[in-house]
Amino acid sequence: MKKKTIYEGKILGLNIYDLIINGRKVRREIIEHRGAAAILGFDEEGKVILVKQHRFPHGYILEIPAGTLERGEKPEKCAFREIQEETGYKARKLTHLITYYPSVGYNKEAIHCFVAKNLQKVSDQMLDDDEIMSVVKIDMKKLLGMIKNGKIIDSKTICAVLTYALKNKIC
């Protein structure tokens, strides 16, 4: 296997791999990403805590809080950090829900989704300079309807909500 780095950025890189699969020479362009942690969080009233975030080029979208893993950071630690930074809510306990790969054909990114219940508001948001978002609370049944109707377009939100709903026999 031969690897050539094309680009190395702040959160991702692009490499070209030349390899042999089943005796055939193939070339693959692969996005290198450290992965992310996402949190399907519920407040004390059972509402789902989402963020309405500007995501160029799609504009503002609703999604569950999430963030990129720091170098060497464990997904659970990232999830605890991100839920508080993006929403001001603190989780006491996280339960792993699902890990999935949103673009297996060209991207190494894994998204680790967690569930947090009874989140408590402890601070204001602590956003990075380039983050533009607000907190939104939605009932789970309404959120499922928004997924069904195509109003939720974010893959981590869709995967986490549907996995949670199936595991808990909500839908």
Domain ranges, residue 125: 34-167
Q: Using the predicted structure, report yes or no on whether residue 131 has a pLDDT greater than 90.
A: no
Same domain, 41 and 17: no
Same domain, 9 and 67: no
Global confidence as pTM: 0.94
Same domain, 28 and 46: no
Same domain, 144 and 92: yes
Domain harbouring 104, CATH code: 3.90.79.10
Same domain, 7 and 62: no
Mean pLDDT of 123-131: 90
Same domain, 20 and 40: no
pLDDT tens, position by position, 63-86: 999 999 999 999 999 999 999 999
Percent of the chain with pLDDT over 90: 94
Same domain, 58 and 114: yes
Same domain, 29 and 98: no
Q: How confident is the model at residue 128 (pLDDT cuts 50, 70, 90)?
A: confident
Mean pLDDT of 111-131: 94
Q: How many domains would you assign to the chain?
A: 2
pLDDT tens, position by position, 27-44: 999 999 999 999 999 999
Same domain, 6 and 74: no
SS3 of 56-95: the string is CCCEEEEECCEEECCCCCCHHHHHHHHHHHHHCEECCCCE
Please list, in sequence order, all residues whose beta carbon lies within 8 angstroms of the beta carbon of residue 155, skipping any fewer than 6 positions away: 102, 111
